[in-house]
């Protein structure tokens, strides 16, 4: 869950390899001795999130407290980007978990799967709530269209990097994300365009965003890694 200061924080894992001692919480990530295993939590200060909506193709939702995804005549697709630059170059990702809370009404839950995909194009979160701006269904940045509108395949990869079934409303879901995804962001920071979360069907789901009033329910990412 998000750290108290809203930024990336380190937590020592039990039984680190060899005789190395994992760093205390809050110590610099690059101070860990080689082979030390640590977990760093990235919270709202490290995350940008929004969603795109087919029925309002020029509008931006980057300032909204909830984001939604479904596949209907009014497609909605969620975008998230997590800055993991606090991790040192050469860190080896062992595991990663995305923490997300579904919204507080019945319709925010879904029995259908929502799938995580790697984004292949950069985009701007925007600061609007149902107003013209980017990112939108039509544009990823101001005056810059998506290669495939709505962050479709081509603007995102088609290989799943994780999935969840958010079947209960007002509930925290911890989603295992492929370590290779986070590793690619460490190895090539300029290629970190985040993820898209696409629902499998018409029964969509909605989640709290980094703008949500309850800080404890904002999204976060925990990454377990071995120091280089």
Q: Which residues contact 187 (CB under 8 A, 6 or more apart)?
A: none
State pLDDT tens for residues 8-28.
Answer: 544 433 333 333 333 333 444
> How confident is the prediction for the chain on average, in pLDDT?
89
Identify whether the C-beta of residue 226 lies closer than 8 Å to the C-beta of residue 45.
no
> How many CB atoms neighbour CB 116 within 10 A?
22
Sign of CA pseudo-dihedral 207, 210, 213, 216: positive
Closest by CA to 134, choosing from 190, 74, 52, is 52
**Span 79-116, pLDDT tens digits:** 999 999 999 999 999 999 999 999 999 999 999 999 99
- Return the pLDDT at 8: 57
Q: CA nearest 30: which of 188, 225, 182?
A: 225
- pTM for the complete prediction? 0.86
Going from N- to C-terminal start, the domains of the chain cover 9-226
């Amino acid at each position: 869950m998000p750290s108290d200061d809203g930024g990336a924080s380190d937590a020592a894992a039990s039984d680190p390899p060899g005789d190395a001692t994992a760093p205390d919480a809050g110590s610099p990530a690059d101070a860990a001795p080689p082979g030390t295993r640590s977990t760093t939590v990235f919270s709202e200060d490290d995350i940008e999130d929004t969603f795109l909506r087919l029925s309002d193709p020029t509008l931006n939702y980057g300032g909204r407290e909830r984001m939604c995804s479904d596949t209907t005549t009014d497609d909605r697709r969620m975008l998230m980007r997590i800055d993991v630059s606090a991790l040192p170059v050469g860190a080896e990702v062992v595991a990663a978990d995305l923490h997300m809370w579904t919204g507080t009404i019945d319709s925010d839950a879904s029995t259908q799967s929502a799938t995580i995909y790697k984004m292949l194009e950069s985009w701007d979160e925007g600061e609007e709530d149902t107003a013209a701006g980017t990112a939108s269904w039509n544009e990823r940045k101001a005056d810059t269209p998506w290669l495939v509108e709505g962050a479709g395949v081509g603007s995102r990869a088609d290989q799943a990097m994780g999935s969840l079934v958010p079947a209960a409303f007002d509930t925290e879901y911890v989603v295992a994300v492929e370590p290779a995804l986070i590793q690619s962001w460490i190895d090539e920071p300029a290629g970190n365009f985040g993820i898209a979360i696409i629902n499998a069907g018409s029964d969509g789901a909605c989640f709290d965003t980094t703008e949500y009033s309850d800080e404890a329910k904002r999204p976060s990412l925990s990454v377990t890694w071995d120091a280089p």
